[in-house]
Amino acid sequence: MANDGSGFTTGLLVGGIIGTVIGILIAPKPGDETRADLLEKSDLIRHKADEFSETIRDRVGPTVEATRDKLIPAMENAKEKVIPLVDQVNARFADFSSENAKSNIPNTRIEDDATERS
């Protein structure tokens, strides 16, 4: 997936915002003017952030949709292949467990018979 310089653009935008705020705060203006400028700049920044997020949604949205459209059938296909394998493993495990249980059962009748003969 191409980066398209989005990291640079984000850095440029954030750097511009920080630089603007610092410049406004350092500028020798009366407090009322500075607050008015900050309010105006914050509205501008909010608007630019909204535009930026809309641009990102427009660019990424189709990719997300296409990926989801491909991923769902792939997951269903994998599920169809895996379920029979899981069933086979479970059946073999059950067979193995039952065979193992049969061979580990002590033959109490033989032991009882040997005890009675003594």
Does this model's pTM top 0.85? My answer is: no
**Confidence category of residue 1, pLDDT binned at 50, 70, 90:** very low
Q: What pLDDT does 116 receive?
A: 53
CB 21 within 8 A of CB 44: no
The residue ranking higher by pLDDT, 105 or 91, is 91
Tokens at 63, concatenated:
């990719």
Using CA atoms, how far residue 69 sits from 61, 73, 86, in Å, is 12, 7, 26
Give the C-alpha separation, 6 to 22, whole Å: 24
pLDDT digits (tens, 9 = 90+) for 64-101: 888 888 889 989 998 999 999 988 888 888 877 777 66
Run of H or E including 14: helix 6-26
pLDDT digits (tens, 9 = 90+) for 14-62: 888 888 888 777 777 777 887 887 888 888 888 988 898 888 888 888 8
**DSSP secondary structure letter of residue 1:** -
Give the C-alpha separation, 9 to 102, whole Å: 70
DSSP string of 91-104, one letter each residue: HHHHHHHHHHHHHH
